Amino acid sequence: MTPPEEETDREDSGEMEFKMLQTIRLKAMAKINLGLDVLRRRPDGYHDVRMIMQTVNLYDDIEITKMEEPGIRIFTNLHFLPANENNLAYCAADLLMKEFSLQGGLQIKLDKHIPVAAGMAGGSSDGAAVLVGLNRMFSLGLSKEELAERGVLLGADVPYCIMRGTALSEGIGEILTPLPPMPDCQILIARPGIAVSTRFVYENLHAEAITDHPDIDGMIEALTAGDLYKVAAKMENVLERVTVPAYPEIGRLKELMREKGALNALMSGSGPTVFGLFDREETAQEACDAVMESGLAKQLFLRRPFQNHTRNYQNLE
């Protein structure tokens, strides 16, 4: 993974090391689903899934600072976000502080840019970043796997958000297999101004009745071949079978992106965010302008895939 936001080329100086131990800054990155299949509902109420996860260069800025006073204080640029145990960043800090009897307190600043409740794992990524940050700040010595074991206690997407890159996600999302990186491209991300309940989506999916599943293995083959056009052709999200009829805006966004040159467009996670893949920057920008003019999107981003060049989990940026 890429280096953290601190100036790592100066980490060998004592002054820099002291500063890093007191404050650490990280980037909690968003994800999209290139493919999403639901296999079955489990007795515990969760669902077994097979998903192709991809990190994108859209992120929340997180700053963690040690304090002498006990407690966890969350500050965010979004007034409606909880600053207590209903925030995964708080839960992640609380989990490690209790397990390792960490002294003092923490101040966590969340500068949110990832759309909230949008199928892009913004909250999960914040929680993952806090786990990684505290592991480094307090020299806990936890491996990537050990962090992931704790992360799944917070949410099914947290282990992936610790790993990042391109991956096959199975089980409830916690069984991860690294995949060849997604080919570089332009990704147009559009979040419509609607709220979609994840519970509503899964309760109305009826996974056992599905006979035609997304071709997840075909997507893996396309990624292995490094073929962007085959990747686009294999994009499918089984949850759209619930969301598109219930929320027509999702279907209209997909259609508009394709009309404006997207190789394909898909809903991410349980929605409502829609993304499109483009092989030319000019075409992507024209599509972005068209979506903006249409009024279908409340938030709009033009980004590229984020790829891990190494598997050093501590370099979470």
> Which of 13-22, 94-103, 208-217, 293-302 has the weakest average pLDDT?
13-22
The mean per-residue pLDDT over the stretch 288-304 comes to 98
What does the pLDDT read at residue 314?
39
How far apart CA 288 and CA 181 sit, in angstroms, is: 25
pLDDT at residue 267, as a whole number: 98
Q: How confident is the model at residue 21 (pLDDT cuts 50, 70, 90)?
A: low
Which residues participate in catalysis according to the annotation?
A: 31, 157
The two structure tokens encoding residue 123: 């909250």
Q: What percent of the chain has pLDDT over 70?
A: 91
pLDDT of residue 252: 98
Judged against a pLDDT cut of 50, whether residue 136 lies above it is answered with yes
Helices 122-137 + 144-151 axis angle, to 10: 130
Number of H helices, E strands in the chain: 11, 11
- Quick: pLDDT tens for 158-170: 999 999 999 999 9
For 235-283, what is each residue's pLDDT tens digit? 999 999 999 999 999 999 999 999 999 999 999 999 999 999 999 999 9
Q: Please report the domains of the chain, with CATH numbers, ordered by start residue.
A: 8-178 (3.30.230.10), 186-303 (3.30.70.890)
Residues 6+ apart with CB under 8 A from 146: none
Report the distance separating Cα 95 and Cα 162, nearest Å.
16
Confidence (pLDDT) at 209: 86
Sign of CA dihedral 156, 88, 32, 133: negative
pTM score, two decimals?
A: 0.90
**For position 11, what pLDDT does the model report?**
34
Higher pLDDT, residue 6 or 65: 65
Predicted pLDDT at 315: 43
Give the distance from CA 57 to its chain's centroid. Answer: 10
